[in-house]
């Protein structure tokens, strides 16, 4: 019936009666009632003027939990909390709705079961045609879930803000599309020195250096971030106080819902310490690689020098013997002398190679460096020429250096000649010395302690960084072909390190070069090694029976020939084992001369075996370089290869002088007859 009424339309010319109007009004009321009752997401109900519930829809029942029968006629204040009722909120809500035409609020409301919900409440007054208040329309929506989501979002945002603000190792802040700072965290304040009030609203380009701003780097960074989605780089950035730090920077664009650019997120980290550590590690790695390379070259150089020494020993020995047997022919004598000079230059070259390889024999002792330099004045000036003045600068008092004086003179002479060659147009050379204390890790490769720093400074062309890095490499030279071996600085480098010091070079192109020799100070009371003052001559000893040991047949034959020419009787052995066999089976010997480097048993081991099996038999070690495995004894007398006949004779006589000094303090043989007494008697017959 209702549907029929609803669908009935008045026909044209048919007049609507009063009954029809009443019926239509009833139909409309029914429609509204059905509409309101079908709404379940809103509580829609009416109150009478006193606030009692007059109607109740299914949405209200779902939200509040009351049925129609339970709630109609009850006062709506029961939906409020005790606190709200205590302050009269329900009554105030109705008064506001009546007087102002509307009341709207969000707040906590109470369900039938006592639980709370967050509700949005709207109360409108209902008036009759004459304006009389007939009640209130009340619409309530349950926003508990939305409020919980908003609260969670708010908590998340608050936590995020706290997180960003709490980060101190990163500068995290935002820029607007033009690059002005819109937020600032504590990490940014710590890195850059600005407070929020000082920097928000300022352009971020102030963090860049003048050079970067001039090149347009800040704007380029924003363009890259906007177009490519990210900008990442490292570079120097400037703090508020003007100091610089090395920063890692990331800039990301921030876009709105429709893709529009609304700003940039910028994250900066101070990586100065990391970069310094990386650079220090790279430097250490480079020094290690260079050290390995130099060590390998040193081993190769030492081996080559040893073999070259053997060849030079043969050449020089044979030349000296040949010179003694030459007929009176000036031309022939000149040729031999020229060959000897060439061989001696080769010997000097091997000494430099061994010095670089740190395999030369050093006789260290206290040296007065200023006195040594003064004693070389004429030699230095004569070597570099009168056109280049040499000035010295020494303090009134300077500690003694613990160094080999002869090698120091050679090193100083090399440095002076290098300085002269660096000044083809003339200049001046300054030789200075000072006392210095080196702290741990202050100079790479140099142990902490007290040093004497001897320096040679020129005003020449100087060296660039690449040349300076290679200056101490063996055979590297900037001089023309035939004007240098490239071993001068490498020899000094090896000599300094073998002495426990360091060679340091400082140079600037066009401003000259300074070479510094850092030499360890001598310990107080160190007397050094005495140099024998007694003149020695080859004829001072009687003919001896000498056993010569060397695995190189050429060197063996040459040494034997030199000894035989001196009038000695010689027996040869090609190895340590063979030498011990000869000593057991042959007649007694007066002296053994042995090479150091031999397969199976080296010279040091052979001398030790001789000391055990044949006590009191003198032995001389012939070597081209100082081997760390060799023993060091106060009475050692050594032959440095290559050696000539004079050096050989002097070594023999020095050995027996040492033996005589030792025997002077040995006890006389006891009644059973022992070697000490016999040795004393024999020693007396060795010397003239």
335 within some domain: no
Residue 631 reports pLDDT greater than 50: no
CB 63 within 8 A of CB 117: yes
Tell me, yes or no, whether 395 and 499 share the same domain: yes
CB 117 within 8 A of CB 111: yes
629 within some domain: yes
Provide the CATH number for the domain around residue 600: 3.40.50.2300
Q: At what angle do helices 488-498 and 405-421 cross, to 10 degrees?
A: 150
Provide the CATH number for the domain around residue 471: 3.30.565.10
Strand, helix or coil at 117?
A: strand
Count of domains forming the chain: 4
pLDDT band at 201 (very low <50, low <70, confident <90, very high): very high
Last residue of a domain, one of 80, 113, 144: 144
Last residue of a domain, one of 270, 289, 319: 270
Please give the torsion angle defined by the CA atoms of residues 653, 655, 661 and 664, in that order, rounded to the nearest 10 degrees: -90
- Per the prediction, the chain carries an average pLDDT of 79
Tell me, yes or no, whether 508 and 542 share the same domain: no
Tokens representing 688 are 């003239």
By the 10 Å C-beta count (0-12 exposed, 13-18 middle, 19+ buried), 43 is classed as: buried
613 within some domain: yes
pLDDT band at 687 (very low <50, low <70, confident <90, very high): very low
Per-residue pLDDT at 39 = 75
Whole-angstrom distance, CA of residue 245 vs CA of residue 434: 37
Whole-angstrom distance, CA of residue 125 vs CA of residue 136: 4
Strand, helix or coil at 514?
A: strand
Q: If you ran DSSP here, which 8-state letter would residue 451 be given?
A: E
What is the average pLDDT across 377-395?
84
Cα 471 to chain centroid distance, Å, stands at: 23
The string of pLDDT tens digits covering residues 3-49 is 444 444 444 444 555 555 555 545 555 665 666 766 777 889 999 99
Provide the CATH number for the domain around residue 178: 3.30.450.20
Structural domain boundaries, residue 244: 167-270
CB 459 within 8 A of CB 522: no
What is the average pLDDT across 525-546?
54
pLDDT band at 301 (very low <50, low <70, confident <90, very high): low
Tell me, yes or no, whether 513 and 568 share the same domain: no
Residue 351 reports pLDDT greater than 80: no
By the 10 Å C-beta count (0-12 exposed, 13-18 middle, 19+ buried), 606 is classed as: buried
Q: Where are the beta strands (DSSP E) in 4-115?
A: 43-47, 103-110
Per-residue pLDDT at 10 = 46
pLDDT higher at 77 or 355: 77
The string of pLDDT tens digits covering residues 421-456 is 888 888 899 999 999 998 887 888 788 899 999 999
Q: If you ran DSSP here, which 8-state letter would residue 597 be given?
A: -
The string of pLDDT tens digits covering residues 593-616 is 999 888 899 999 999 999 999 998
Tell me, yes or no, whether 594 and 676 share the same domain: yes
For residue 591, the cross-strand partners are 546
Whole-angstrom distance, CA of residue 112 vs CA of residue 64: 6
180 within some domain: yes
Tell me, yes or no, whether 554 and 494 share the same domain: no
Sort strands 244-255 and 261-270 into parallel, antiparallel or unpaired.
Answer: antiparallel
pLDDT band at 418 (very low <50, low <70, confident <90, very high): confident
Last residue of a domain, one of 231, 255, 270: 270
Strand, helix or coil at 454?
A: strand
Tell me, yes or no, whether 661 and 578 share the same domain: yes
Tell me, yes or no, whether 383 and 515 share the same domain: yes
């Amino acid at each position: 019936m209702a549907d029929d009424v609803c669908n009935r339309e008045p026909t044209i010319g048919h007049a609507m009666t009063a009954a029809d109007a009443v019926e239509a009004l009833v139909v409309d009321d029914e429609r509204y009632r059905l509409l309101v009752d079908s709404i379940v997401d809103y509580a829609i109900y009416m109150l009478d003027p006193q606030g009692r519930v007059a109607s109740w829809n299914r949405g209200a029942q779902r939200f509040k939990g009351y049925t129609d029968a339970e709630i109609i006629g009850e006062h709506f204040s029961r939906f409020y909390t005790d606190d709200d009722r205590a302050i009269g909120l329900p009554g105030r809500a109705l008064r506001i709705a009546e007087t102002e035409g509307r009341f709207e609020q969000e707040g906590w409301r109470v369900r039938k079961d006592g639980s709370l919900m967050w509700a949005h409440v709207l109360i409108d007054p209902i008036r009759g045609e004459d304006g009389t208040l007939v009640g209130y329309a009340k619409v309530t929506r349950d926003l508990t879930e939305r409020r919980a989501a908003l609260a969670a979002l708010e908590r998340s945002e608050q936590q995020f803000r706290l997180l960003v603000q709490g980060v101190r190792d990163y500068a995290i802040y935002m820029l607007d599309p033009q690059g002005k700072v819109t937020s600032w965290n504590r990490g940014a304040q710590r890195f850059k020195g600005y407070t929020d009030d000082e920097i928000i609203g300022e352009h971020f380009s102030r963090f860049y250096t003048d050079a970067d701003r001039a090149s347009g780097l800040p704007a380029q960074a924003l363009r890259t971030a906007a177009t490519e989605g990210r900008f990442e780089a490292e570079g120097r950035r400037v703090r508020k106080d003007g100091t610089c730090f090395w920063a890692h920077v990331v800039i990301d664009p921030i876009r709105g819902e429709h893709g529009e650019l609304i700003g940039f997120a910028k994250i900066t980290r101070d990586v100065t310490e990391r970069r310094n550590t990386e650079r220090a590690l790279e430097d250490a790695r480079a020094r290690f690689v260079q050290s390995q390379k130099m060590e390998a070259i040193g081993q190769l150089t030492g081996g080559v020098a040893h073999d070259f020494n053997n060849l030079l020993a043969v050449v020089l020995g044979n030349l000296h013997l040949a010179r003694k047997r030459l007929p009176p022919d000036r031309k022939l004598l000149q040729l031999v002398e020229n060959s000897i000079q060439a061989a001696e230059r080769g010997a000097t070259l091997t000494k430099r190679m061994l010095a670089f390889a740190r395999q030369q024999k050093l006789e260290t002792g206290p040296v007065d460096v200023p006195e040594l330099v003064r004693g070389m004045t004429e030699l230095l000036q004569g070597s570099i020429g009168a056109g280049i003045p040499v000035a010295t600068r020494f303090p009134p008092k300077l500690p003694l250096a613990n160094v080999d004086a002869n090698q120091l003179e050679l090193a100083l002479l090399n440095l002076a000649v290098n300085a002269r060659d660096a000044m083809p147009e003339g200049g001046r050379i300054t030789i200075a010395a000072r006392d210095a204390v080196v702290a741990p890790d202050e100079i790479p490769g140099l142990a902490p302690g007290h040093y004497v720093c001897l320096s040679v400074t020129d005003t020449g062309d100087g060296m660039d960084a690449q040349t300076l890095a290679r200056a101490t490499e063996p055979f590297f030279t900037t001089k023309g072909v035939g004007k240098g071996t490239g071993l001068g600085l490498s020899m000094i480098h090896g000599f300094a390190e073998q002495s426990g010091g360091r060679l340091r070079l400082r140079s600037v192109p066009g401003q000259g070069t300074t070479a510094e020799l850092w030499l360890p100070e001598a310990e107080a009371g160190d007397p050094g090694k005495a140099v024998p003052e007694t003149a020695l001559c080859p004829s001072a000893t009687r003919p001896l029976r000498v056993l010569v040991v060397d695995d190189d047949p050429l060197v063996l034959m040459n040494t034997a020939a030199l000894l035989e020419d001196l009038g000695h009787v010689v027996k040869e052995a090609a190895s340590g084992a063979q030498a011990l066999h000869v000593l057991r089976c042959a007649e007694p010997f007066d002296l053994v001369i042995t090479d150091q480097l031999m397969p199976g048993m080296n010279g040091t081991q052979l001398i030790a075996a001789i000391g055990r099996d044949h006590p009191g038999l003198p032995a001389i070690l012939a070597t081209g370089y100082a081997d760390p495995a060799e023993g060091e004894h106060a009475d050692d007398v050594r032959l440095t290869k290559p050696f000539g006949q004079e050096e050989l004779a002097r070594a023999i006589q020095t050995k027996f002088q040492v033996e005589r000094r030792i025997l002077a303090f040995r006890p006389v043989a006891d009644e059973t007859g022992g070697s000490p007494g016999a040795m004393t008697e024999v020693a007396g017959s060795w010397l003239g």
